[in-house]
Amino acid sequence: MQAHKTFNMNIIESLQWRYATKKFDSTKKLSKEQLQVIKEAFNLTATSYGLQALSLVIVENQNLREQLVPHAFNQRQVADASHLLVLCYPDHFDGKDVANYFDRIVSERKTPEETIKPFRDFLINDFDSKSTKDKHASFAKQTYIALGNLLTVCALEKIDSCPMEGFVPSKVDEVLDLASKNLKSALLLPVGFRAEDDFMAKEKKVRKPLSEIIIEI
Ligand SMILES: Cc1cc2nc3c(=O)[nH]c(=O)nc-3n(C[C@H](O)[C@H](O)[C@H](O)COP(=O)(O)O)c2cc1C
């Protein structure tokens, strides 16, 4: 009998390979296929109730990305990466959006209306009564799940990336006119390929020993 494989070495190797890229090679672009993997992976992210109250804005436009650099504390990754991913959540979202979600379930799974009705009514009411502030806080959390998902997917695809919270969301929203799309920015994720002289690529990955971060009870 073959020895039981306890973990997939490729995944661990890929996660060791990835790092928060500080300098991208601005001459290297992601292929259409690589972008497609990112789009599909984003769409497959798990979300609370499955509502998918989040959007991915993909910015390639160089002029716009240069305008964003000062609003990201001059972090050049925003402009030098192949593409800038902006993880967003909806500004306005209410019971009507929840109803649309259930309509899709009914149409795609052929679930009988009466089966879905109690949960549908509960969730519509829940979203109609929640404050905008609470909804925004909850949606912003969902974008972090998508970020984690994309970081892993990019690592497996040998796409470099840099998760970024270091920016002024209101300014990014303004430059990208996100209000016209009913969106607010939560996170940035420049994606592309590391520059050969990115000093960070050669730095040792620093993590706690497992014995310090894992508690087995
Ligand atoms: C939510 C989040 C926000 C981050 N914001 C920034 C940022 O604005 N700029 C940056 O260079 N790195 C940023 N990082 C990268 C972290 O500093 C980096 O992931 C951490 O030091 C571990 O290093 P590694 O990812 O290279 O293994 C961020 C990471 C996360 C998860």
CA of 121 to the centre of ligand 1 (A): 40
DSSP tag of 211: H
The DSSP code sequence of 31-44 is -HHHHHHHHHHHHT
Residue 20 CB–ligand 1 contact under 6 Å: yes
- H or E element, residue 103: helix 95-109
Check residue 122 and give its pLDDT.
Answer: 97
Q: How far apart are CA 47 and CA 115, in angstroms?
A: 22
Torsion angle, alpha carbons of 161, 58, 153, 39, to 10? -170
Phi/psi for 99 (5° steps) reads -60, -40
Check residue 147 and give its pLDDT.
Answer: 99
pTM here?
0.96
Name the residue of 69, 164, 202, 207 whose CB sits within 8 Å of the most ligand 1 atoms, as the mutation to test its pocket.
164
Can you tell me which atom of ligand 1 is nearest the CA of 200?
Answer: 26
- H or E element, residue 96: helix 95-109
Check residue 192 and give its pLDDT.
Answer: 98
Residues 6 or more apart whose Cβ sits within 8 Å of residue 143: 54, 87, 88, 89, 186, 187
Residue 188 CB–ligand 1 contact under 6 Å: no
User: From the CA atom positions of the chain, what is the Rg in Å?
Assistant: 20
Q: Tell whether domain 19-91+136-195 is in CATH 3.40.109.10.
A: yes
Check residue 8 and give its pLDDT.
Answer: 67
Residue 75 CB–ligand 1 contact under 6 Å: yes
> Helix, strand or coil for residue 88?
strand
Per-residue confidence in pLDDT tens, the chain, 217 aa: 455 555 666 999 999 999 999 999 999 999 999 999 999 999 999 999 999 999 999 999 999 999 999 999 999 999 999 999 999 999 999 999 999 999 999 999 999 999 999 999 999 999 999 999 999 999 999 999 999 999 999 999 999 999 999 999 999 999 999 999 999 999 999 999 999 999 999 999 999 999 999 999 9
